[in-house]
Amino acid sequence: MKSVGVAILGLGVVGSGTYKILRDHREFYKETQDVDISVESVLEINKQKALALGIEESRISDNIAEVVSNPNVDIVVEVIGGVEPARTFVLAALHSGKSVVTSNKELFCKYWHELERAAKRTNAGLYFEASCVGGVPIIRTLIDGMQANHIRTLKGIINGTTNYILTRMAKEGLGYQEVLKDAQALGYAEANPAADVEGYDAAYKLSILSSLAFHKKVPLDKIYREGITSVDRKDIKYGAELGYTLKLLAIGKNGEEGIEARVHPAFVKNKHPLASVNGSFNAVYLQGDSVGDIMLYGRGAGDMPTGSAIVSDVIYAATHSDVKYSTFKNSAGAEKGVRFVNDFRSRYYIRFTARDKAGVLAKVAGIFAKFNISIVDLIQKGEEQDNVPIILVTHETGEMSLRRAVEKIRALEDVVEVNSVIRVED
């Protein structure tokens, strides 16, 4: 039986989960995968944390050079997160010819080409299943399950923190700040929640997923990004009246015009499969030209789900001698040959506050007509006040036309405020 040694860099939430899975399933992997995987080394400055997990003192190190030069280590698991020192450590491991398994979406999204170049030099493997959607095997699905397909659309809820917040806002009628505080107290959101709530985490993942799905490099700066910090509970309520659920969606499309990639809050119809993905759960919906529609659903974060993805890569690296790299041109600046769409098409929900007097709606409708934007739904809330909320939903239109129309509406004398513009996805 083949024996394989692993080093884990960082015993945080995911590192500890990974260690526990490898420790508790060692016999199971011997039986089912014909490989004996042992944790030979951990890089962790908090020695007590490592000892508490039952790791022998001789295997605990605070020196990356020592870890990557250990001849018993074949695979290095990086679960530190962020760019530095993770990038330096991963490069050190690859330069030493060790295969690397990582959960680091930010590092991978920003430095994939550099890491891959280093890996190719020493014929080392580079595995990143855990970087996107935690325990959900989306990377292997795209690389090893969907290769037969041209993938046209990828749509997902790929951030659990924001999905938890939006779900509670919808179900309990609470405001964003109130739920955020609760989410932080419960450990669902970080003390500094920006990476999640501003949509960066989802954008990192979308960059990786859409590059794999469309076989073209989709860098972070080509992804349109809006987070959930300005979501108003009123819109969740009015959206529900129209039959919609609000989600932070990551959307990638590969069409005639080029690739579009965007992360923003969007309404989906209640009957769409993504509408029922609640709490901290994640899901990714793919459309392939041969297979049709598929959806993967599961936990996108946490010690054991993300540990599951890490360990699946460790087993893959341990049992496959061939090394696979990207199926697209993955050099610095490779996106220069790729066409990207900025003026994407969508339907839109718009809420504005107007003075309750004759002719206001006619003026708004006139502006939409001028921009060739057709209205599907319109609700005016008769609240017997001078200023009333008006909600309308458009047919599909171009983002730029919509923005210009909204500017004209904002400038109308009888429009007090344009409160919200939210995309509506079919």
Q: How far is the CB of 128 from ligand HSE (least distance, A)?
A: 12
Query: Is 14 annotated to bind ligand?
Result: yes
* C-beta of residue 165 within 8 angstroms of C-beta of residue 228: yes
Give the interface segment with ligand HSE, choosing from 158-166, 286-294, 307-315, 356-364 (CB under 6 A): 158-166
Give the residue numbers marked as catalytic.
205
Query: Is 12 annotated to bind ligand?
Result: yes
Angle between helices 303-319 and 13-24 (to 10 degrees): 60
Cα distance between residue 67 and residue 46, in whole Å: 16
In the set 161, 254, 346, 397, which binds ligand HSE (CB under 6 A)?
161
SS (H, E, C) the chain: CEEEEEEEECCCHHHHHHHHHHHHCHHHHHHHHCEEEEEEEEECCCHHHHHHCCCCHHHEECCHHHHHCCCCCCEEEECCCCCCCHHHHHHHHHHCCCEEEECCHHHHHHHHHHHHHHHHHHCCCEECHHHCCCCCCHHHHHHHHCCCCCEEEEEEECCHHHHHHHHHHHHHCCCHHHHHHHHHHCCCCCCCCHHHHCCHHHHHHHHHHHHHHHCCCCCHHHCEECCCCCCCHHHHHHHHHCCEEEEEEEEEEEECCEEEEEEEEEEEECCCHHHHCCCCEEEEEEEECCCEEEEEEEECCCHHHHHHHHHHHHHHHHHCCCCCCCCCCCCCCHHHHCCECCCCEEEEEEEEEEECCCCHHHHHHHHHHHCCCCEEEEEECCCCCCEEEEEEEECCEEHHHHHHHHHHHHHCCCEEEEEEEEEEEC
Give the interface segment with ligand HSE, choosing from 36-44, 107-115, 153-161, 414-422 (CB under 6 A): 153-161
The residue among 250 and 301 lying less far from ligand HSE, judged by its C-beta, is: 301
Query: Is 107 annotated to bind ligand?
Result: no
Give the interface segment with ligand HSE, choosing from 122-130, 159-167, 242-250, 259-267 (CB under 6 A): 159-167
In the set 300, 305, 307, 389, which binds ligand HSE (CB under 6 A)?
300
Query: Is 79 annotated to bind ligand?
Result: no
Total binding residues for ligand HSE by CB under 6 A?
A: 8
The residue among 105 and 423 lying less far from ligand HSE, judged by its C-beta, is: 105
Query: Is 115 annotated to bind ligand?
Result: no
Q: How far is the CB of 271 from ligand HSE (least distance, A)?
A: 25
Give the interface segment with ligand HSE, choosing from 140-148, 157-165, 365-373, 375-383 (CB under 6 A): 157-165
The residue among 105 and 347 lying less far from ligand HSE, judged by its C-beta, is: 105
Query: Is 16 annotated to bind ligand?
Result: yes
The residue among 160 and 239 lying less far from ligand HSE, judged by its C-beta, is: 160
Give yes or no for residue 301 binding ligand HSE (CB under 6 A).
yes
In the set 16, 141, 159, 308, which binds ligand HSE (CB under 6 A)?
159
Question: Which tokens belong to 232?
Answer: 């108003």
Query: Is 9 annotated to bind ligand?
Result: yes
Query: Is 413 annotated to bind ligand?
Result: no
Binding string, residues 197-236; x marks residues near ligand HSE by CB under 6 A: ----x-----------------------------------
The residue among 301 and 406 lying less far from ligand HSE, judged by its C-beta, is: 301
The residue among 99 and 159 lying less far from ligand HSE, judged by its C-beta, is: 159
Interacting residues with ligand HSE between 81 and 120 (CB under 6 A): 105
Give yes or no for residue 308 binding ligand HSE (CB under 6 A).
no
- Which residues does the annotation place in the binding site for NADPH? 105
- Which residues does the annotation place in the binding site for NADP(+)? 9-16
Binding interface with ligand HSE (CB under 6 A): 105, 159-161, 196, 201, 300-301
